[in-house]
Amino acid sequence: MAFHYKDNWFFERIKDGAVRIYHLDNSGLMDRGIAIDAASWASIIASVSARGETAETFGEAQDFHGKVESESGDDEFLKTTNPIQRMGVDNKR
pLDDT tens digits, one per residue of 8-41: 999 999 988 999 999 999 999 999 999 999 999 9
- For the CA atoms of 49, 19, 63, 69, the dihedral, rounded to the nearest 10 degrees, stands at -150
Which runs of E-coded beta strand occur in 1-93?
Answer: 3-4, 9-13, 19-24, 30-36
Residue count (the chain):
93
| Positive/negative CA dihedral, 43, 59, 9, 12 | positive
Per-residue confidence (pLDDT) for residue 15, from 0 to 100: 81
pLDDT score of 67 more than 90: no
- What is the CA angle 5-32-61, rounded to 5? 50
**d(C-alpha 11, C-alpha 35), whole Å:** 10
Per-residue confidence (pLDDT) for residue 1, from 0 to 100: 84
Residue spans of the domains in the chain: they are 3-82
- Is the pTM higher than 0.75? The answer reads no
